Every structure is written in structure tokens, then in C-alpha cells.
Structure 1
Amino acid sequence: MSQITDSNYWEQRYQEKSDKWDIGQAGPPFINLLESSVLTLGKVAVIGCGRGHDALLFAKYGFDVTGFDFSPSAIADAKSLTDSMGLTAKFLRRDIFDLDREFLGAFDYVVEHTCFCAIAPSQREDYVKLVHSILKPQGELIALFWAHNRIGGPPFGSNLEEIDKLFSPRFNTSVISPAINSIESRQGEEYLARFQRLIRNDKK
């Protein structure tokens, strides 16, 4: 379990091309969300951004996007993809659990896709605190949760009850519903959520 908290573990997965969570495109439910034009433009953090597919989708729609990942190879690939697509986005190598030191209250949106399921379940409460801390007041988490029930991981499983228990002390649930256009291998296991940040003491 401890190896997944080490950046070398994730770097090796990218170098060996064993990063099977990378679907080679942005999450289809995000495309539907952005095409509906329900979001006001603003600053977006994509945490655990990998090769940047989701980040670049939001950049394409005019958002000011910064992607963060543990892996140097993932960040390099994201920057290369940005250039090839002619888009503008920033990609920084960071441990997401340190982002509050540098980006406290900095973002209008945080985008989640296969980061929550990649970290150790014991870190999930810290993850929620981190997301809350880097959002502006009334900021919003936009999440595509991969909530399967298989043993082991990563990706580690979860369910709606756990997600609600973790996030409800710090967020209002605007929307959480089954994703209707997931990729085939994740159909029936993904939920699209929009959680609005509650104003409270981040240290509690």
C-alpha cells in the first residue's frame, strides 16, 4: 500500500505504459457537461491529471486550467499534448496533498477523475480537506467518481454512501447521478458529481 504514495511507483507505471486508467481521451461525461454550457468560466485545477486529457478539454472550452500530477512523464506528455493541440494550459509536477501550501483558495473548480480511486482509502479524508482548501469560497468540485466494488487496488473501490459521508461535512451536493455515457469498461460504475464548497474552518 505504501508504494502508491511514492511518485516513483506512478512514474514507473507511466514509463512501462501500464497506466490502464488512462483512456486516451477526456471522460465522456465531462464533454456532455461542458457542451451544456452550465458552467461559468474560471480557474480550474485538475488533480492527478495524468497526460492531461481532462485538463485540455476544459482548456478547449475557455477555462484557465492547471493540471497537477506526481509523475514527471505524465506532466511531460501533458505539455507535449497541449502544444500539439494548440491549447493553453499549465501542468505542474506536485504532490496533490501539498497544494494548499501554494494554492490556498486559488481555484473556482477542482476536477476529479481517477485520482480519488488511486490514492489509498486511508487518505480520502485528507483528499476532501485538500480539495476544500484550494477552492475559492463557493467553488465547486466537478467529479467523475469510479465507484466499483472490487477488492484491492488501485483503483480502489467506493460507493455513494462513502462518498456522501466523506464530502458532506465540507460540500453541498448540487448533483450526483450515474454517468450515462461512460466508456464501456466502466459503464454502471461511474457517477458524475458537482459539489459546492461550504465555508468552514479547513483545519477541523
Structure 2
Amino acid sequence: MGLPAIGSYPMPDRSAIPRSHVSWQIDPARAALLVHDMQNHFVRAFPAGRAPVVELVDNITALRELADTLDMPVVFSAEPAGQPPAQRGLVGDMWGPGIGDEPDAAAIVAPLTPRPGEHLLANVRHNAFLRSHLGRLLRSQNRDQLIICGVHAHLGVLLTAADAFMNDIQPFVVADAVADFSAEEHTLALRWAARTGVVCTTDGLLRALLLHRERRNA
């Protein structure tokens, strides 16, 4: 089984954001930004030039620009191309061989190409913490908050948020900066994410980050 056909659907608006069970406040001095699996292979499965992929890329771009401005670590997770069956393991049984050797399939989409000083981690499972040094990277920079965006909401995003929570890293899932196979799966993922962290919108998170900086500099 490979990626399913993905139809266009609208990004959730503020009224669709589930209530989080915690009142954590984002702090740019504690937070890092994770851009999960925003590779051509996955992004091209969405209808080009339509929702949700247009908003997905635009909102992640806005988050990444502010993160750079605020000196927050920016981390990209990316599935390696051409993984042998032994490396794919049970993921291969469920999702097939993964990214092939097609030109640029494994590359991060052009508007988000990693820059010098940003981090690019190979992830061989949906959970970006598993079999990677994401946890060590966050600890080395004294970061205990993780802003998560990218694809897919009910798989990599949700599993990464849950693992962050289990490791005492506060996850912030950005509802309109993630996307999924369908609106239903997107909504389901946000409901589960609200039980392990904060679910927010791009605009709300950007405002909170800027406000925190203004208060700190006052």
C-alpha cells in the first residue's frame, strides 16, 4: 500500500480547534520548531494549488521565518529514499517501499529548503523521535517545548507529539500547519493531540511568540 489519493479539503478554522487540557504558554527561549516530512514525495500527493496544501506551505513558511528571527532551533525530519526492506520493517508491510530513487522525491519542498544552521534529521519511522537524535538535540539546546507542523497529522505529527509528551517535552500542534489524507483524519488527529498537548492556529502561535518577546524585552 502506498499513499492514498488525497482530495482537496479546507483547513480547520479557529472554531474547529479542540480545547486543550493544559494551559502551557509558548516561550521562544524554550521552544523548537519541527517541520515533519515536508518532502516532495508526500506533498505532491495533495492537489496542487488547492487547499489544504497551499495553506500548509504558507503557514509553515511563516512559522519558520519567525523561528529563525527569534533564534529558535528549526528541525526538519525527512524519510530517507531507497530504504531496504530490513530498514523499513513493519512500516513496509503497511505502507510499501516508501520513497524511491526518483529525482528530488525525498527533498524538502522548495519554499522550505533547509538553510545553514537549521537541522535535517533522517527519520525511518513516523515518530520523529524514534531512531533519531531529535531528543538529544532538544536537550542540548535546553528546549522543552516543540512546535510540530507538517504531514501527516494522524500519523507522524500525532505520534511525535505523543512521544514528546511522554518525554516531558510540551508539544504544540499547529492545526492549520499540518495536513492529512482527509478532513476527517485531520480532525481526529487534532482531537487526540489535544489530549497530549496544545493545539493552536498559526496566527495564534505567531502572536503568542511575538508577545512573549515583547514582554521579555520590555
Normalised TM-score (structure 1): 0.45
Instruction: Answer with 1 or 2: which has the greater Rg.
Output: 2
If asked which structure has higher relative contact order (CA below 8 Å, sep 6+), I would say 2
TM-score in terms of structure 2 length:
0.42
Q: Which structure has more strand as a fraction of its residues?
A: 1
